[in-house]
Structure formats: C-alpha cells, structure tokens
Structure 1
C-alpha cells in the first residue's frame, strides 16, 4: 500500500471518528449536560486511554483551566475519574467506556438532584401549610379551606411522584433495569 493511500484511509477513518465524537457531544444535550462535556467524553473515549488536561486542551483548543472545570463536572456526574499513570506526575483522566453505564450514571445523577430539590421543597411547603393552619386556626373561609386542601392534595401527589422517580433511579442504579431491558435481547456477543 502506498503512503498516499494510507494517508487517505487514515483521513477517512479520522472523519468517521470525529463524527462519532460529535454525536456523543450532541447526545449529551439530551441529558441536560453541556456539549463540552460530551466532546471531552468522546475524545477520551475514542483515545482509548487516560488523557491529561494538557492533552485535552491541545485536542480541543480550550484552556487547561476550562478543561479542569469540565473534568470536575464529569467526575461529579460519575462519568470520569482520575487515574494514576505510572511514570507521570500529571493527573490523567479516564471516562466510562460503557455507553449503558454512562447513560445510567447521567440519568441517575441528574434525577437524584431533581428528587432532592423537589422533595425538600415539598417538605418546606407542607410545613408552611401547617404553620398557616396553626396561625389562623378557625379563621379559614370556605374558599381558603378548599384552597389549602387542594394544595395539600397537590403536595401529596408531588411527593408520590418524586418518590416514584427515586425508586426508578434505584432500579437503574441497581442494574435491575438490565434484567427487564437487556442490552442485547437476542444474546449476541459484543465485539469489543
């Protein structure tokens, strides 16, 4: 094979790899995650080995400071972690290389936060309704009483909904979801 042919093949393969990386970045928007996180995820994933902030900055054209910020976000989302590389003093980062586990990590991390915020608000509002009832005991008009009862019912529904989401997150985190919805339902093997 000539060097020219090899160069053309490598160029075509690089374009295909770039498209995969770009698609990973685009898909991150679905999870409410920035495309920058998706871009780094794709770059490290396709690199197939841990990378330093310097390498990532060079690859993306962004600053090392920005790379550090994004890597902290990725670690918080449980889709990246620091990895020790023998003989190097620089910090290296690797990403989850299993698409399903990445999905589960993003799904569960984001929804746990939503559940926490909304459950906290529900408790706060329930306390507020109890305080209003205690302060104005016996002074509620029929309209005010009806409104209070509607809000109490709404908060019960709200709480039940976020409890359901919490249990759904547990279902994903435990891996039980994979028993109900297997990756490869026909049992075909993975080539990786």
Structure 2
C-alpha cells in the first residue's frame, strides 16, 4: 500500500512542477523567447544535476538540434551556463539560478539594442526634416517640421533617459532602490 501512495505522491509532484514549468514557458514571450526555450529553461532549473543535450531531449521529447539552439539562446542571455564534470565527455548545462542576474542581463541586452536604434532613428529623422525645412519655401511645411522636430527631440530625450534606466538595471544599482528578496 505505501508504494502505491508514494507513486501517487511522485506523480502529483511531477504534475505540480510541470505546471510551473508551463508558467515559465508561457512568460518567456515577455523576453522575446519561444515557449519551447522556456520549457527547456524550466527543466534545467528543476534538474538536480547538470544535463546533457541528450538528457534534455529525453525530458522534453524534442530534437537534439532544437535543444542545442535553445541552450545557445539561453547561454547568450546568461540564463544557462555550461559546466564540467570529471568523467563525462559530453557538454553539460545548468540553469543560472539567480533570476535577478538573468533579468538584468536579459533586460539590458534587449532594451539597449532597441533604444539605441530608436535614438539613431530620431536623429536621422530630425536631420532629414531640417534639410527639408532649409530647402522648402512653404511656410506651413516649415511650421509643421518645426513642431515635429520638437516631438522628435522629446522622443530622443525619453530614449536617452531610458538608456540611463537601462544602465541602472545592468549595473545592479536598481537593487539599491528595490532590494532582492
């Protein structure tokens, strides 16, 4: 009788962990990742030991190529790291367990790229509008361009502020204001 109960307990445990892994997978789109990469991270996070690509493939029933791509994506985002264990020739991977560190890296990488692009685009648009304003004799167009350049300047100021915010996140200074639990 106890064996049957123990089996049910393990089954219930597995269901509970799988349910949370699904939550992780669902939320990965916030970071621009697919749910399969989220599931991979969840499996690694709840693994008691580092895993090989074969271990991951067996756990998720996905191709080794998909596992490799997912691990590479997670490694680039500093959410997974490779590790070494004596006697094992295959690459081993484990999750980064410091979610705060993962978030700051991921947030910084994603937002920095987009924000830098937005600053460049605003500067280019302002330069083009200024050129048009210099060349046109249409006073109404000049007035519209002047107003739009002010809007673009406002946007650029916002993006520059956002770059400072990103720096506060990346440097870890954010934890002075909002401490980790």
Q: 1:13 to 1:174 in 2, by over 3 A?
A: same
Once superposed, which parts of structure 1, at least 4 consecutive aligned residues long, lie more than 6 Å away?
A: none
Determine if contact 2:77/2:102 at 8 Å carries over to the other structure. Answer: no
- Give the Cα separation in 2 of the matches to 1:78 and 1:150: 43
Give the TM-score of the pair, scaled to structure 1. 0.84
Determine if contact 2:133/2:142 at 8 Å carries over to the other structure. Answer: no
Tell me the alpha carbon deviations over residues 125-153 of structure 1, each in whole angstroms, 9 at most, x when there is no partner: 2332344345x1xx331111112212211
1:173 to 165, 170, 178: 170
In the alignment, structure 2 segments of 5+ residues that lack a partner are: none
**Is the aligned partner of 1:152 residue 2:149?**
yes
Q: 1:48 to 1:167 in 2, by over 3 A?
A: farther
Give the TM-score of the pair, scaled to structure 2. 0.89
Q: 1:7 to 1:127 in 2, by over 3 A?
A: same
SS of 1:51's equivalent in the other structure is coil
Matching residue of 2:57: 57
2:139 to 139, 142, 151: 142
**Is the aligned partner of 1:22 residue 2:19?**
no
Matching residue of 1:103: 103
- Give the Cα separation in 1 of the matches to 2:137 and 2:85: 68
Tell me the alpha carbon deviations over residues 87-135 of structure 1, each in whole angstroms, 9 at most, x when there is no partner: 222222222112222322322221112112212222322332344345x
Tell me the alpha carbon deviations over residues 42-94 of structure 1, each in whole angstroms, 9 at most, x when there is no partner: 11000033222211111111111111112222122222222233322222222
CA RMSD, Structure 1 to Structure 2 (Å): 1.9
Matching residue of 2:12: 12
In the alignment, structure 1 segments of 5+ residues that lack a partner are: 185-192
